[in-house]
Structure 1
Amino acid sequence: MIAQRLRVAAYAVCTRDEHVLLARFVSADSSACHWTLPGGGVEHAEDPYDAVVREVAEETGYQVRVEHLLGVHSRTRYVPLGAADAAELHMLAIYYRVRITGGDLRHETGGSTDRAQWTPLASVAELERSVVVDAGLALHRGLPPSGHVPPIEMSELLRH
């Protein structure tokens, strides 16, 4: 049986001096990791605007101010639920451009990420990363009036 699930998340695109702020996601069993934008799931009844501010603080130590809604990116994938079940997971990501207003860079402890760092924009394509990074940077660079970017073509370095 294939169930349908929806995950809404809010992500921050924060740049300075040709660098982007990234966080390293670690799987629940610590068997895999990849880079992503600071951000994550919107909690029940939480405004995505508030969620992105909360997530950046949790994952990087920075306090931020939202400057601009960049857009929305949608993708789906199948995830196993058990021996015979799977779910089609619909991931709806909302992207904001943010500016740092306080705090100091630090790594998250006890969360879904274990490291935060400023990465040269020119080096991002060489990283094992979430498609979240590519979609967010495409929205940031292009600022499409529709707030939409076409689907991101998956490659060996991209993770859902």
Structure 2
Amino acid sequence: MSSANSLVVERLLGVDSRVIPAAEAWSGAEHQNVGIFYQVRITGGTLRPEVNGSVAESVWTPIPEVARLCRSSLVDVGLALAQTLPATGHVPYVPVGGLIQH
């Protein structure tokens, strides 16, 4: 996503690191996925699609509405971190089984 927004990082929520087995990976090749999750505050600007990129539409979705969306299950890791704010930056395992499993 490209954004003309100005953001302030308020805190690091946590880091999720996992190996995706070849049998579960979209590409068919084993790989490691590392997700770094931050809590941010928007300070200004305008949200816009990524020019010549993979994002066709950009929207901000209120957190209570995210649970009703069709989404990558990695979003659930970020939601768990945002909701519990664990001091360790770790939440119980959230099954993913590939980056775009819903």
Alpha-carbon distance in 2 for matches of 1:154, 1:138? 14
1:154 deviates by: 4.8
Of 118, 126, 138, the match for 2:80:
138
One-letter amino acid of the structure 1 residue matched with residue 86 of structure 2: P
Query: Is 1:120 paired with 2:89?
Result: no
- TM-score normalised to the size of structure 2? 0.77
How many correspondences in the alignment?
97
Alpha-carbon distance in 1 for matches of 2:54, 2:45? 20
Per-residue Cα deviation, 1:99-136 (whole angstroms, up to 9, x for no partner) = 11221122222112221112232322221111221111
Give 2:9's aligned residue: 66
Of 26, 31, 35, the match for 1:93:
35
| Cα distance change of structure 1 residues 75 and 131 upon mapping to structure 2, 3 Å threshold | farther
Alpha-carbon distance in 2 for matches of 1:124, 1:100? 18
1:80 deviates by: 6.5
Q: Which 5+ residue runs of structure 2 have no aligned equivalent?
A: none
Identity of aligned residues (%): 45
Alpha-carbon distance in 2 for matches of 1:102, 1:123? 22
- TM-score normalised to the size of structure 1? 0.52
One-letter amino acid of the structure 2 residue matched with residue 116 of structure 1: S
One-letter amino acid of the structure 1 residue matched with residue 78 of structure 2: G
